[in-house]
Amino acid sequence: MEVIEKVLPNGWKKFIVKNDFGISISALDYGGIITEINVPDRRGTVENVVLSYKNYEDYIEDPNYFGALIGRVAGRVDGSFFHLNGETYVLDSNDGDNSLHGGNQGFHKKIWNAAPFQMTGAAGVEFTVEIPDLEGGYPGSLSVKITYELTNQNQFSINYQAVSDQDTAVTLTNHSYFNLSGNVKRTVRDHKIKINSNHYVELDENLIPTGEIKSNESTPFDLNRESTLQTGIESSHQQIQLAGRGFDHYFIFNETEEENLSLKDEKSGRALRVHTNQPGMVLYTGNNLNSDHLLETGPAQKHSGLCLETQASPASLHHGGFPSVFLKANEPYEKKTTFTFATI
């Protein structure tokens, strides 16, 4: 195990974490952005399985949030406001009338304090930042620590910790786009996915939750049995069409000791399993990606990658019955998502 630290020409720091079995993770102190997750295929060929820009400058104004840490609240907040303790808090509107992924100064824009670490069988980087009261419109000063850790069991874990001095709203995630083909050889349409979930959240035409939690049964959202993404993407289901011919939906996980989801690319033989203590996940299939976005491997295209955004639901700010993003003052926020890489 080792961690290599580099200073880029623009002053950002880049950290490369390697294990003893050919897997490496590269991340920036800017936005905590993951630029590479290099994983061997069934033949031992090591390639990058997340989307990354060819030019680092493209991360500064990135509509896709490639690889970034997302907060204070991941996802879209309807109308850019919420009520808490008798007060109305008005948020940054950066997605039409709505607030997306923490607003204009979200976690993806921060230069994080970054400290690499190594221990027996594991290594990584600890990112910390202090967020002032009312930044982006959210109440409370928020202390945040997020740890990226890679082990010799080929597991990559993201540990999210935060505490606020006031009641507030928090749900954190990472916005990496996975493509297990390696170096974006193909789209993710042929990837096979299984999600341990019986319910998804219905969206309106602005991709805002309607307040309805729907059963997956007999819909393209029933991914309890392994299914090829293309099957869902090509569906005529109204929810698939309004999201831009793909998924951009929150799945509520079933309560189980089993993995929350699995992903496979049969051509490369790469497989990914995800375990988390988050209550659900947004599956986004890169419906808005296009050739204007120049990746390290060339122009992007629709469905070049998919996001597995484990988090609670911002719909809880306006509707009952959703996994809540509210956090009490001085109550620790502690969430963890682990990605386990393997071959088939």
Mean pLDDT calculated for residue range 262-290: 98
Q: Give 35's pLDDT tier (boundaries 50, 70, 90).
A: very high
Average pLDDT over residues 55-64: 96
What is the chain's mean pLDDT, rounded? Answer: 97
* pLDDT above 90: residue 80: yes
Catalytic residue among 175, 191, 293, 303: 175
Rg for the chain, CA atoms, rounded: 19
Q: What is the CATH number of the domain that holds 31?
A: 2.70.98.10
Are the beta carbons of 168 and 296 closer than 8 angstroms? no
3-class state of residue 230 by DSSP: helix
Q: Which amino acid is at 130?
A: E
Distances (CA, A) of 197 to 27, 80, 216, 225: 30, 28, 8, 10
Enter the tokens of residue 169.
């709203």
pLDDT (average), residues 327-341: 98
| Cis preceding linkage at 273, omega within 30 | no
DSSP 107: G
Residue 305 in contact with residue 142, Cβ under 8 Å?
no
Give the pLDDT mean for 226-234.
Answer: 97
DSSP structure class, residue 254:
P
Q: Is 175 a catalytic residue?
A: yes
* Mean per-residue pLDDT, 188-196: 98
Q: What CA–CA distance (Å, rounded) separates 340 from 329?
A: 33
Quote the number of domains for the chain: 1
pLDDT of residue 180: 98
Close Cβ partners of 141 (under 8 Å, ≥ 6 residues apart): 130, 131, 132, 133, 164, 165, 166
Catalytic residue from among 36, 135, 149, 309:
309
Whether the CB-CB separation of 39 and 270 falls below 8 Å is answered with yes
Which letter, b or e, does each residue of 312-335 get, where b requires 16 or more Cβ atoms within 10 Å of its Cβ? bbbbbbbbeebbebebeeeeebeb
pLDDT for position 257: 81
**Strand partners of residue 16:** 4, 26
pLDDT at 258 over 90: no
Nearest to 33 by CA among 62, 2, 73: 62
- The residue among 222, 223, 210, 216 whose CA lies nearest residue 321 is 210
Range of the domain at 45: 2-343
Tens digit of pLDDT for each residue in 104-157? Answer: 999 999 999 999 999 999 999 999 999 999 999 999 999 999 999 999 999 999
Q: Reply yes or no on whether the pLDDT at 256 is more than 90.
A: no
Predicted local distance difference test score (pLDDT) of residue 49 = 98
Tokens of 225: 């049995």
